Chain A
Amino acid sequence: EIVLTQSPGTLSLSPGERATLSCRAGQSVSSSSLAWYQQKSGQAPRLLIYGASSRATGIPDRFSGSGSGTDFTLTISRLEPEDFAVYYCQQYGSSPTTFGPGTKVDIK
């Protein structure tokens, strides 16, 4: 199975700052089959990005995804108070689908 590594484990930033989250795969993710999810405390995850760079319905354009192969990035251009949460990447190009361990974005 494809192992996903996310870095950093925790990102401490202030509202208005730019957040850059990394997701690295142990082997190439086929067809850029990489998704990002946001999970706030006590809530279910929410789809942000699929296909490495396509925003899901209703997701603000401050969220963007990029990358291919083994290296992917989620960028939040300017952090809003509601963006402080845990972010997970998922690869769905190879079976079984796998998730990264998550990056927590907290308030500095």
Chain B
Amino acid sequence: EVQLLESGGGLVQPGGSLRLSCAASGFTFNTYAMSWVRQAPGKGLEWVSVISHTSDSLYYADSVKGRFTISRDNSKNTLHLQMNSLRAEDTAVYYCVKTHWSGYYIYWGQGTLVTVSS
């Protein structure tokens, strides 16, 4: 059974940093791209970042480019998102998502809430 367990969310002040993690199990982690997708409270879905299975390719939404960094550790079946210079508009539930190579989202974790507020 596929499991994606996110952690690291919480309350942070504007300008602060957080590091999200996602522990994956139940599938061959090192053969899948992985993504972060977020959802602001009461709003729709927004793609944040994607990393290829080998970490060779990394892409970011314009809204987070230069502030967020995606990474993965295939030896530990773990995905990370380092978030710096956080803004109020980054407040959202962040989902870790098993991603098909073509770009659709096969399986979603339960998400972790990030709140940016003073």
Contacts and interface: CB of A to CB of B under 8 A. Distances in A.
B100 A96 contact: no
A99 B46 contact: yes
Chain A interface helix/strand/loop/mixed = loop
Interface stretch (B9-17, B20-28, B101-109): B101-109
Nearest to B45: A99
Interface of A: 33, 35, 37, 43-47, 50, 56, 88, 90, 92-93, 95-102
Interface of B: 44-47, 59, 61-62, 95, 100, 102-111
28 contacts: A33-B102, A35-B104, A35-B105, A37-B45, A44-B95, A44-B108, A44-B109, A44-B111, A45-B45, A45-B108, A46-B108, A47-B104, A47-B105, A47-B107, A50-B100, A50-B104, A88-B45, A90-B45, A90-B105, A92-B102, A96-B59, A96-B62, A97-B47, A97-B103, A99-B44, A99-B45, A99-B46, A102-B44
